[in-house]
Amino acid sequence: MRLSLRLTLLAGLSALPLFPAPAEKTLDFYTIDVEGGKSLLMVTPAGESLLVDAGWPASANRAASTGRILAALSGAGLKQLDYLLISHFDIDHLGDVPALAARFPIRHILDHGEPAAADRDRFNAYDEVRRKLGHTVLRPGDKLPLKGVDIEVVTSAGQLLSKPLKGAGAANPLCATHPQAAAIERDVEDDQSIGLLFRLGEFRMLDLADLEAHLSHELVCPANLLGTVDVYHVNVHGQFKGMAAELAGAIRPRVAIVGNGARKGGDPATWPILRATAGLEDIWQVHYSAAGSADTNPPPNFIANLEQSDRTLPGDEFAMIKLSVQADGTYTVSNTRNGFARSYRAGMAGGRIKP
């Protein structure tokens, strides 16, 4: 029906200019399904690219994420990757960088420096690649060297911003009711995570990778160093250890994106806390969380992959959550499985654009 309508319209448009103005270029983010690991691809309006994390390496019970990442890179029309940023050296983020670098040109690597805890052999193989390609160690306050989009490091190697971002720094009333989580069981490498604040015009997005609730607390208590955001990429794949209500409440996102797998992340215990965040309209997930139920997952249109387990589709098909940001502050989140999309407007006066 739609196809025939489009063809009919084209046939009737011969009086219009042959070369209409090209559609406005957007800042695009693709949350790739790497089965509960992390891999987030960003392509700027000028075509520069950044990949945050490389998913999993191959193991006895899991295929490497490399194939899916390569599919996403070429699907986005890229011929090279300008920056590969490894948020921290846990295996679901470090992936198989030597295999990725052997199959796709990578210009430069960004990371937090030396591991606090990591699989030594895998880290050494990664270290060899980063020495060859060149790498830069990031610290809070650094800006990523991409043009046209402002990306600031807010955490790295266990260090946090020392002063509020511009326009931030207000006292956070949630600190009184949400004491800092205990640090006893935390993963020391998680807390080395590079956290990033992305800005394009009015649009802001926070992604703290696997920073756990304990350290997240210090970013927003007693004062909120981050200010508010439009989109919150939820910490630690939506695992409960990353959920700090005092952070989510302080940054007041309209949209949350959870990079979970069927059996990792998207914890049922995370859901009610995230869902109760004041001002939050929609939660988008990369995968249905099999540990949960319909009550602790979003409606199917907001979930890219609905299977109850990972890698169940023939030909290793997978869907992504795509976020496209326009220079005027409008942003659209879409599900590449079925094309379902919602548009929102950036800034505190924004929110969902009603169809």
CB atoms within 10 A of CB 113: 13
What are the residues whose beta carbons fall under 8 Å from the beta carbon of 332, sequence distance 6 or more?
A: 323, 324, 341, 342, 343, 344
Site string for Zn ion, 43-82 (x = CB under 5 A): ----------------------------------------
Cα–Cα distance measured from residue 283 to residue 266, given in angstroms and rounded to the nearest whole number? 11
Return the range that interacts with Zn ion (CB under 5 A); candidates 84-92, 219-227, 256-264, 323-331. 84-92
Return the range that interacts with Zn ion (CB under 5 A); candidates 86-94, 124-132, 143-151, 158-166. 86-94
Return the range that interacts with Zn ion (CB under 5 A); candidates 98-106, 169-177, 202-210, 330-338. 202-210
Cα–Cα distance measured from residue 60 to residue 62, given in angstroms and rounded to the nearest whole number? 6
CB atoms within 10 A of CB 139: 13
92 binds Zn ion (CB under 5 A): yes
Nearer to Zn ion among residue 92 and residue 207 (C-beta):
92
230 binds Zn ion (CB under 5 A): no
| CA-to-CA separations, 241 to 159, 186, 229, 327, in angstroms, rounded | 19, 8, 21, 35
| CA-to-CA separations, 338 to 76, 103, 289, 301, 319, in angstroms, rounded | 17, 29, 19, 8, 9
Return the range that interacts with Zn ion (CB under 5 A); candidates 74-82, 138-146, 204-212, 302-310. 204-212
Q: How many residues bind Zn ion (CB under 5 A)?
A: 2
CB atoms within 10 A of CB 229: 22
207 binds Zn ion (CB under 5 A): no
From the CB of 179, what's the least distance to Zn ion, in Å? Answer: 25
From the CB of 211, what's the least distance to Zn ion, in Å? Answer: 10
From the CB of 193, what's the least distance to Zn ion, in Å? Answer: 9
Which of 35, 210, 267, 310 binds Zn ion (CB under 5 A)? It is: 210
b/e map 312-339, b = 16+ CB within 10 Å: eeeeeebbbbbbbbbeebbbbbbbbbee
From the CB of 175, what's the least distance to Zn ion, in Å? Answer: 26
Write out the residues near Zn ion by the rule CB under 5 A. Answer: 92, 210
